[in-house]
Amino acid sequence: MTESINTKIFPKDFLWGASASAFQIEGRYENDGKGLATTDLATRKSGMADTDTAADFVNHYKEDITLMKEMGLKIYRMGFSWSRIMPDETMNPNPEGLAFYDKVIDALLAAGIEPFVTLYHFECPQALVEAFGGWKSRKMIDHYTAYAKICFTHFKGRVKKWATVNEQLIAASAPDLNGNFEKDPHLFQKNIWQMHWHISVAEHKAFALLKKIDPQAVIGPVCSIQVVYPLTCSPADVEAAAHAEELMEFSLLDLSARGKWSPYVVHYLKSHDLYPTCDESDAEVMASRPDFIGVNYYFSICAKEKTGPVNYNLPPFWVSDAYDIAGNPYLEKTEWMNMGIDPDGLKNGIEKIILRYSLPVIVTENGMAASEKIGKDGKVHDDYRISYLSQHIEKIAELLEEGWPVKGYCPWSFIDVISSHQGFAKRYGFVYIDREEKDLKEGKRIRKDSFGWYRNLIKECLEGK
């Protein structure tokens, strides 16, 4: 399926990669000093596979990195677990945690693979939630800054690409990830916007800090882009879609890239008594700027004119009196991709981001979820994943041909990862992890068909130069 992709358009320095997060693959050492994270508690509550073992990367990292090298990856977008490096309220680093990441980073570099590290990928240290409420408190800004300083200093010269926060929209919205279990629906939403502000201030402090510690390194946010189409050409639906994108995506990217909200967002938050408490010093902090924007994209959505009362049972970022979210009747849907498959949405979304912020983009997540089992032949045949990725890579090629600055592509995920609420029932990887929800087996790594396809695509793109 590489025939339809213009492989010659990809520059020699294009960053072909793959992604994963810490909590979804690592597992835990015995007596390794790692503190509990919110994600540890969340997966335990799910009754499915949890973070205690996950994909057991802590014991298989050498094997996994060997597979990355075999695939031809140029970059690996990974995560650090905050609570593994800084496990409690003292802000003292955990030597065992740093030593583990030393081994991973050094192994990647020895394999010729560039590490691209996300500092915060949903894993809020549970100790900080219990001590002062996590991101609801300004104290969290100092803790995140201390954590970032430890990482930037310790890995200086070895890690040259950093992501500050993965999918802030989700990180601040999901109670299991941040400890915001407020029952009053208005206060719940108010807490979310207060957390957004604290996260953004912390992020900007990290931008500035990295430039002091390692001026050669680059840093940026990773956004779950919300590509929102109007359900119809009704002006009311068009306006609803614009407002949905503004509130769910651009409000957060505006904070990251511009340091302030648009007039519409300011008006919306103030008129709904959601505007957060800020400090006078924040304006100066928010003047720092990122070097790029990471884009996570899986599907698009539709919005229509708001009718009826606000439904507080929806995902928190869909709760609004400015729009209603709707399905798209024109898209193919699957078991886990129930909003539909839309490669054009990736291109549309990236174009909007680059036009608005004049920053280069790296695709940091893009993937196809499926329920998978090993076949009778001992293999996993995932043509559907190859089709999904191929269609989206075609759009990256179109963007490059038109001159848009897209610097890399890191699909989700290199190996199968646990999902917070679906365990190993929902799989994304190029590499199958042979374990069930409760039966850990040996965690054998099995290359899916997509592994060989992606390896050949990377080789073809590089040899075409």
Give the residue numbers annotated as catalytic, written as ranges.
167, 365
Residues 6+ apart with CB under 8 A from 189: 272, 274, 316, 319
What is the CB-side half-sphere exposure of residue 131 using CA atoms within 13 A? 17
Q: Among 371, 428, 435, which Cα is nearest to 49's?
A: 435
Tokens of 83: 């609570």
CA angle 164, 170, 175 (to 5 degrees): 115
Residues 6+ apart with CB under 8 A from 378: 446
In three-state secondary structure terms, 62 is helix
> Is 420:39 a contact under the CB 8 Å cutoff?
yes
C-alpha span between 327 and 304 (Å, rounded): 10
Amino acid at 362: I
C-alpha span between 229 and 231 (Å, rounded): 6
Characterize 71-110 residue by residue with b for buried, 16 or more Cβ atoms within 10 angstroms of its Cβ, and e for exposed.
bbbbbbbbbbbbbbbbbbeeeebbeebbebbeebbebbee
Name the residue with tokens 């396809």: 453
431 forms bridges with which residues in the sheet?
Answer: 415, 447
Query: Which residue stretches of 55-184 are H helix?
Result: 57-71, 82-85, 95-110, 126-132, 139-154, 168-173, 175-178
> Is 170:122 a contact under the CB 8 Å cutoff?
yes
Identify whether 419 is preceded by a cis peptide bond (ω within 30 of 0).
no
User: With left for phi above 0 and alpha for psi between -120 and 50, is residue 441 left, alpha or beta?
Assistant: left
Amino acid at 116: F
Residues 6+ apart with CB under 8 A from 177: 38, 39, 42, 122, 124, 170, 171, 420
Q: Among 220, 352, 362, 356, which Cα is nearest to 291's?
A: 220
